[in-house]
Amino acid sequence: MGKICLSQRALVAVSGLFLIASNIGCERLTNAVGGALTTSTDSEALRPLTQAEALADYDTMIESIHSLYGPLEYKERRFGYKFDTEAARIRQELSLAKTEDEKLGKFYETLRLLQDGHVSMQTPFRTDKRISIVAVPVGTSFYVDFINPNLAAHGIERGDEIIAIDGQTPEDLLKIVLKYSWWGNAESDRHMAYMLFSRPSYMAALQPPSAIAKIEVKKANGDRTLARIPWIVSSPFTKTQLRPMVASLGSLAQIQGAQIFSEKAGALNEARAAATDGDTSLVDMGAVKPYYWSRRIQNTFGATRVTPDLERAKFYYAAWTRDVSLGEDRAVNPLKIPDEFPEVFAALYRYNGKTVFMMRQPGYMADDIVANLAVYSALIEQYQPIADVLVIDQTHNPGGSVWYVDSFARLFAPKGLNGFVQFLNNDRKWISSLLSWIGSLDPATLATSPTAQYIRTTIAGIETDQEAGLRLTREPFAFGPTPIQRAAPITWNKPILVTIDELCASGGDAFPKLMQSNKLATIFGRRTAGMGGSVEPVVELPYSRSKVNLTRGLFTAYKPDGQYSDADMVENNGVQPDLSYSHTVDDFRAGYPAYFKALSEAATAL
C-alpha cells in the first residue's frame, strides 16, 4: 500500500452506534524519546501543596474510588486486601511527606493498589528526567529496543542487553517503577521498563543520583560497553508534558471507548515515529504495520502487500452505513462516500503449500469507523476466494470503541456472535450518561425505540441494585438492545488465526475475547494485558488540579446462560492464547523471522 490517506470525516452520527460509555481522557507523554532538550528553571517553581491541601485532595480521590470505581470489590477478592486499610496506611505516610513529589507519589502508590491499566492520574505540574532510549523485556532480561540516532556516538545499539544503570540492575529499577506504576498483568507490567529511561519526578526512589547516567550494556558477542549520557530535564511549562488525546463528549452515543492510558506507552509511541522500516521493534503500539514487519520479513517469506479495490470499498461504505441503522426507527441520512480511505495493512504469501492472507487491526479508534470497516470488508471480498487461511494481526493493539470491536468481529462470524456486555457500577453518573443517550435519540420514536426501552430498563436496574447495596449491576449492559450481534454485510468463512501479545489492551483484549469465546478463531501468542472495563475521567482534584480516570465496570463476552464468574472477566485475566509463543533474544535481534515462521506454521496447520 502507498501513503496513508486518512479520512477526516467524523464517525457517522446515528443512534445505532452503540459505543462503550466511557472517555478515558487518554493522555500522551510527548517528546519522551525525541531530540528536544529542555531544562527547567528556578523561576518556574510552584508553591508546593500544603499538608492540608494534599490530604484534602487525597480524601477526594479516595471518595471517588469508593463511589465510582466499578471493580473495587473484584480487586479486593483477587488480590486479597482491604482497600480502605491500605489507603489509610498510605494516607498516614502522606501526612509525613515533605516534598511535593513525595506527596504526589503517595497518590500513585494508592492507585497502584488497584492494578488496573485503565486507572490513571494526570498531573499538570511536574518534571521528568529522560534519556532517548527505550528498553523492552525479552525473556528474563532487558534490551535496547530504540536509541535516538543523536546518541549513536555513545556506542549503544538496538539489541544490546542492559546490564546496569548507575550501578542498579534493570530488574531492581523495575521494582521501583512498579511501586508507582502499572499496566494490566505481570507480563505487560514488564514493559514498564521503558521508564528506566523516562523517570517522572513523583517516583522519588527512582530519581538519578547524578546528572550523568552511567549505562552498562552487553553486546551480542559478549563485549561490554559503558556509556555516560546526560539526563534531560523537562519543564512543567513546556509542550513536553501531558496533553489530552480524547475530548470529553456529552452524549453517551458519541463517546469513544476505553483504550489504554498511554502515559505508559507515550515513550513507545514517540520512538515509533523515528523507527526505520528495515528494523521495526516493540515500539509500534497502534502502528499501521505489525511491529515485526520489515523488508527482511517480506523478502524472506515472499509476501506481497495488497490493497482493496476502491469501488469495493465505496460499496461497503454504503453497506455499513445502512447496516448501522438496522433495528432503529429511522433511516440513517446518507452521507457522501469518501474519495479516500484509511490505510489498512494487508499481505498475501505462500507457506506450506497454502496461500495466507494477513490483515492487521492496529487499534479501534478511527476518524471514520465506517470507512475502516469498509476497507476490511472489501479486502475480505477480494482475497477470500484465493486464500486458504486468514491471519488477523492484533498485536500491540491499544484498544478503542466497543462498537468498532463488535462490528469488526462480526466480519468473521457468518452466523453472528455473542457480543460484549459490561457489569456497570451502580451510581448516578451512569444514570446521567444513559439519560443523555436517550436524549440523543429521535424524539418521534422514543416510545417504541428498542434502544430507548433497553436504556430505561438498565436505569431501573441500576436504581434497584443501588438500593440493595450492590456495587455492580446484577445484569450486564449490552451496549445496545441485544447482546447478540448479527453477521456483517460480508463475512470470512475460512480458518482464522489471531495473533496477540501482552501489549494488547482494552479493545485489544476485547476482540480476541470475542473470537475465542465464540469459537471463531485460534489465538496465537502471549496473554493480553487484561484491561477489562470502560473508563471515564471522574474527578479533578481541587488543589493539585490532577485529573483521575477510573474504570466504571467489568466487561466480558455475553454468556447465554447468564452465569458469570471472576474468571470470565477480562480485567487482569486478559485472553490466554490457544497456541503460546514467546520471543527469544536471538529472534528479537534478528528482526523476528522465527516468530513469523511460527505464526505461519500455526496458520497453515488450521
pLDDT tens digit string along 14-38? Answer: 222 223 333 222 222 223 334 333 3
Work out the burial of residue 168: count CB atoms within 10 Å of its CB; fewer than 13 is exposed, 13-18 middle, 19 or more buried. Answer: middle
Looking at the predicted structure, is the pLDDT value of residue 308 above 50?
Answer: yes
Question: Are 128-233 and 279-423+485-533+562-604 equal in CATH topology?
Answer: no
pTM: 0.86
Looking at the predicted structure, is the pLDDT value of residue 597 above 90?
Answer: yes
Helices (H), 113-182: 170-180
Give the model's pLDDT for residue 218. Answer: 97
pLDDT (tens digit per residue) in 524-545: 999 999 999 999 999 999 999 9
Q: Which of 423, 389, 419, 383 is nearest to 404 (CA)?
A: 419
Q: Give domain 128-233's CATH superfamily.
A: PDZ domain (2.30.42.10)
Give the model's pLDDT for residue 517. Answer: 97
Q: Where are the chain's structural domains?
A: 128-233, 279-423+485-533+562-604
- Confidence class of residue 72 from pLDDT cuts 50, 70 and 90? very high
Give the model's pLDDT for residue 326. Answer: 60
pLDDT (tens digit per residue) in 578-596: 999 999 999 999 999 999 9
- Confidence class of residue 283 from pLDDT cuts 50, 70 and 90? low
The stretch 106-128 carries a mean pLDDT of 90
Average confidence score pLDDT of the chain: 84
What CA–CA distance (Å, rounded) separates 506 from 395?
12
Give the model's pLDDT for residue 85. Answer: 98
What CA–CA distance (Å, rounded) separates 154 from 92?
45
- Confidence class of residue 46 from pLDDT cuts 50, 70 and 90? low
CATH 3.90.226.10 assigned to domain 279-423+485-533+562-604? The reply is yes
Radius of gyration over alpha carbons of the chain, in Å? 24
Give the model's pLDDT for residue 438. Answer: 87
Give the model's pLDDT for residue 261. Answer: 34
pLDDT (tens digit per residue) in 236-278: 543 322 222 233 333 333 333 333 333 334 434 444 443 333 3
Distances (CA, A) of 206 to 168, 209, 524: 10, 9, 36
* Cβ–Cβ < 8 Å for 554, 422: yes
What CA–CA distance (Å, rounded) separates 151 from 227?
10
The stretch 149-161 carries a mean pLDDT of 94
Give the model's pLDDT for residue 538. Answer: 94
